[in-house]
Amino acid sequence: MTTRGARPAGRGVRGDLFDPHCPTRRLLDRIGTKWTSMAVKTLADAAPDEVRFAELRRRMPGVSQKMLSVTLRSLTRDGLVSRRVEPTVPPRVFYRLTGLGLSLEAALAGLRTWAEEHMAEIDRANEAAQEADEG
């Protein structure tokens, strides 16, 4: 028996973003970061090839080793990225997008396009708001 408003868990079931307990919120928090977007874009540009950790870091200006590691761990745990380790000394670690990750890249590409097209408007709105706050 489910309580009123509860939704059964399962494949193909849509979440309710407005429900504080909905896992959709947690997922959006994870995939909505700049480092996730940059990692997915970088891996998509290399697809279907793999990219080594050090190369990913070079292609993502400003990301720290720790932040990239945390981001990749999250993407791997979510099934968006696959990780392969060669048992060398030191180990060589390679990453690539899964099919699910490639589908996320399509969605993120639309968001990046929107941001690029509207950034000037957003900047003007922020400047106007700042002037109004100061005035």
Task: Give the residue from 17, 16, 19, 64 showing the smallest Cα distance to 38.
Answer: 64
pLDDT reported for residue 3: 36
pLDDT reported for residue 13: 64
pLDDT reported for residue 129: 94
pLDDT reported for residue 22: 86
Residue with tokens 């959709």: 24
Predicted model pTM? 0.79
- Low-confidence residues in the chain, pLDDT < 70: 1-13
Q: What is the pLDDT of residues 52-68, one digit of tens each?
A: 999 999 999 999 999 99
pLDDT reported for residue 11: 54
Cβ neighbours for 41, distance < 8 A, ≥ 6 positions apart: 105, 108, 109, 112
The DSSP output letter for 92 is: E
